[in-house]
Structure formats: C-alpha cells, structure tokens
A and B are shown apart, each in its own frame.
Chain A
Amino acid sequence: DTEVTQTPKHLVMGMTNKKSLKCEQHMGHRAMYWYKQKAKKPPELMFVYSYEKLSINESVPSRFSPECPNSSLLNLHLHALQPEDSALYLCASSLWTGGNQPQHFGDGTRLSIL
C-alpha cells in the first residue's frame, strides 16, 4: 500500500461542475506534487508545493486550482474542465524538493469529464 492517499479513486464530472481531488501523507514530507498522466504516457508535472507554498506551476490552465492547507494535505480544485482533461491525476510527496529525494506516489484519481 502506498503511503500517499488520494481520494476519490474515480471521479466523473460534467464540464460545469466543481469538484476537488484530495491527497494526504503523514511521512513528514514538506514537498508535494500534482501530476497528470494520460493513457500510455508518462506523468507530467503540474504543480509543486514546498513548505505549503506553491513553488512551481507548469503553465497549468486556471481551471485547475491547487491548495495546500497544511503540510499533510494537498487539494486540487477543478472547475469548468474540458474533455481533454480526462486523465489519471497523481499526487506525490518527497522529504523536500531536492533532486535526490525520491518521490512517493499515490494511486491516483481517475477523472472523466463528460
């Protein structure tokens, strides 16, 4: 079992809906990440939080809004998504953002936009 917990596991939403993805870790990690993974493709970085502050936004559309309420939680708020946003959304964490820190991944939320 992974030490990074993501909920929900599956989410189907319409283009006008507002929903949130949640991620939680209790390993004391201070870096948390959101990735998007399309079918048969590698994960692509979306956002990085370091010590609860957004440090990297990889030019992600504003319909995706991340939030880090505390060092253990990471949310991704979704609004007015497009069908092409259907994908597996992965959360990861690491001790800090140093490149030699392995990232621990959650199981992901499989998102389908109708």
Chain B
Amino acid sequence: AQSVSQHNHHVILSEAASLELGCNYSYGGTVNLFWYVQYPGQHLQLLLKYFSGDPLVKGIKGFEAEFIKSKFSFNLRKPSVQWSDTAEYFCAVTLKNTGFQKLVFGTGTRLLVSP
C-alpha cells in the first residue's frame, strides 16, 4: 500500500539554522508530491508541490524541496529558519493516473524554532 514516511517527528532549531525535513514514499509509479504546513491554531496550508519537470521546487516563505526519484524522497529545506516557522509540517502524496487520487499524508514533523 502507498505510504509516506517522515523520519523526524520533532525538530528543534535556533533561528538562522538551516532546516531539512525528510520525506520518503513507498510507491513505484508516478506521484504528485506536496508539503503542507500547519501553524499553531491555523489551517493546513500548501507550501509547495511537485508534479513534473525541474525536481527542485521552490515554495512560499523561502522553502524549497527536491524530488529524488531514485531515493523515493521529497525532502523539504530552508537555508535559514525564523521563529515564525514554528509549525507542523506534513509531506503528502497522490498517485497519478489511478482514478481517484487520494491524498496520503505522512505522520508530520513538529518544528520548534527558538529565538
């Protein structure tokens, strides 16, 4: 079955540190990939998405992610985090060309950025 793994459940960083959150999926076919963010008390928001083309995708708020097909990975990065990046981050995947394409979320990574 299709699944999404996020290796880090909790990450604590100081402001200006670099961030990389891991995401791996288990499916051999073609996928659409997403990162969503949920700030405290707020709704899930789309950070970025990958469908095809350049595997390095840039999103909002200085985030980027790189799709590495051979590693089934879609890691999220930010060169310098801010206190306002404190949130929960979800990687999500849908399959292409398989009828209804269910959005499957990873377990999430809670990021705490200390000022």
Contacts and interface: CB of A to CB of B under 8 A. Distances in A.
B100 A43 contact: no
Most buried by B among A4, A97, A99, A108: A99
Nearest to B94: A99
A6 to B, nearest CB: 9
A105 B44 contact: yes
Contacts of B102: 45, 56
A56 B107 CA distance: 22
Interface stretch (B12-20, B45-53, B74-82): B45-53
Contacts of A55: 100
Interface in B79-115: 90, 94-96, 100-103, 105-108
B42 interface: yes
Interface residues of A, number: 25
The number of chain B residues touching the other chain, given as a range, is 20 to 34
Nearest to A50: B100
B92 to A, nearest CB: 8
A52 interface: no
A103 B44 CA distance: 9
B12 to A, nearest CB: 16
A98 B101 contact: yes
A94 B70 CA distance: 30
A106 B43 contact: yes
Contacts of A56: 100, 102
B107 A41 contact: yes
Interface of B: 32, 34, 36, 42-46, 49, 51, 90, 94-96, 100-103, 105-108
13 contacts: A41-B107, A41-B108, A43-B105, A48-B100, A50-B100, A55-B100, A90-B43, A99-B101, A100-B49, A102-B49, A105-B43, A105-B45, A107-B43
